[in-house]
Amino acid sequence: MKVLAAMSGGVDSAVAAARAVAAGHDVTGVHLALSPSPASYREGARGCCSLEDSRDARRAADMLDIPFYVWDVAERFGRDVVDDFVAEYAAGRTPNPCVRCNERIKFSAVLDRAVGLGFDAVCTGHYARIVDGRLTRAVDPAKDQSYVLAVLRPEQLGRAMFPVGDSRKSDVRVEAERWGLGVAAKPDSHDICFIPHGDTRSWLQERLGEQPGDIVDAETGAVVGAHSGTYAFTVGQRRGLGLSVPAPGGRPRYVLDISPVARTVTVGNVEDLDVAELVADTPTWCGPQPSLPFTGHAQLRAHGEVHDCVADVVDEALLVTFADRPRGVAPGQTVVLYDGDAVVGSATIRSTS
């Protein structure tokens, strides 16, 4: 097969590309440039980290003796991932940019271009497996990324390769060493890639400005604090609330609700975060749609725990009912349905009750 290996400059995508080569595929490496391009003249707008990552990816491709190119996807990434991220926070939701990137960039824009150029598949360093055509959890539970891939439809999964999904991270590093890849010991990346300093709150404030408002107690309706923008909060958040009025009995308070229009953040007791059911938009099935109602498990955040659930489609939305009342579910996040280790589908959480 002709395989396009998306190479971030990290160890996982480098070993994924190496395995595609070892499997006998005709592999071409591509690094996706995600930062905005400077206009006519170079102004050094690209962060040093991404240039360094690009170089690491190039060196890995050198070692594998495969062609290597940089694809400029900054325009699409800015519009479909970064702008979406800002808009979601502005609307009081908590987005997952990795999910959006997989949905709209890696397995949409990049996959489409690859197929157009004659490639059969796109290979990435994601920790997930495709078993009998079904998206499935990785062997290494600590690294499993099936959650952020659950937005992919069968036709996208049919052209995806995740060669490291059946290995443990430690084995991937050892293998990188064996291939002579300089990235073998490169630290894992954790933060949101387009917020290199990791301070999401100040990054959002630069883009959305100060939007001061009240923090209100859910029970009494009393104003218990002030904030400079609802986008700095996530449902379930406890730290950094800066409340001026202590709760009766000194119990910790959590963010229960965010209303960007009223600029109000509502806080209350931990039990009020318990969720009996949720409604989620645009259900996407990774394989054939299951017979409904579907009884299985739901995961509500990346690396979060799973909950027994029953899911059904009502008015084109996914209605998920829980037996064990998960706690702190943020609208904007993705609910992913699992049948054992296999991913059934996903949807974007709209509301909980």
Partner 1 sequence: MVYLDHAATTPMLPQAAEAMTALLAQPGNASSLHAAGRRARRIVEESRETIAAAIGARPSEVVFTSGGTESDNLAIKGLLWARRQSDSRRARLLLSAVEHHAVLDSALWLTEHDGAAITWLPVDGAGRLTPDVLRAAIEENPDDVALVSVMWANNEVGTVQPIEDLAAVAHSYGVPMHTDAVQAVGQIAVDFAASGVDAMTVTGHKFGGPLGAGVLLLGRDVDCTPVLHGGGQERDVRSGTLDVAAIAGLAVAAEVAVKEQPVRADRLRALRDDLVARMRAEVPDALLNGVPVDDAGARLPGNAHFSFPGCEGDALLMLLDARGIECSTGSACSAGVARPSHVLLAMGHDEERARGSLRFTLGHTSTKDDVDALMSAIAPAVERARSAATALR
The binding site for partner 1 (CB under 8 A) comprises 28, 31, 33, 37-38, 40-42, 46, 51, 54, 67, 69-73, 75-76, 109-110, 112-118
How many residues are listed for the chain in this entry?
A: 353
Strand locations in the chain (E): 2-6, 26-33, 68-72, 121-123, 128-131, 134-137, 160-161, 213-217, 223-227, 254-259, 264-268, 277-285, 294-299, 306-314, 317-322, 334-339, 342-352
- CB of 75 vs partner 1, minimal distance in Å: 7
Q: Quick check: is 123 catalytic?
A: no
Taking the least distance from each CB to partner 1, the nearer of 112 and 312 is 112
- CB of 45 vs partner 1, minimal distance in Å: 11
β-pairing, 2-6 vs 213-217, is: unpaired
- CB of 187 vs partner 1, minimal distance in Å: 24
Rg (CA), the chain: 22
Active-site position among 98, 101, 123, 286:
101
Active-site position among 98, 123, 193, 286:
193
Q: Are 157 and 286 in contact (CB under 8 A)?
A: yes
- CB of 154 vs partner 1, minimal distance in Å: 20
Taking the least distance from each CB to partner 1, the nearer of 1 and 247 is 1
Rounding to the nearest 10 degrees, give the CA dihedral for residues 327, 328, 331, 336.
Answer: -50
CB neighbour burial string for 268-278, b if at least 16 within 10 angstroms, e if fewer:
bbeebbebeeb
Taking the least distance from each CB to partner 1, the nearer of 159 and 173 is 159
Q: Quick check: is 286 catalytic?
A: no
Amino acid letter, residue 225:
G
Cβ-based neighbour number of residue 100 at 10 Å: 21
The Cα 179–Cα 338 span in angstroms is 35
- CB of 69 vs partner 1, minimal distance in Å: 6
- CB of 301 vs partner 1, minimal distance in Å: 30
- CB of 122 vs partner 1, minimal distance in Å: 12
CA 293 to chain CA mean position, Å: 27
Closest by CA to 58, choosing from 30, 25, 97, 96, is 30
The Cα 218–Cα 237 span in angstroms is 15
Closest by CA to 4, choosing from 33, 25, 35, is 25
Q: Measure the CA angle with vertex 244, ends 241 and 246; round to 5°.
A: 90
Amino acid letter, residue 11:
V
Catalytic site positions: 101, 193
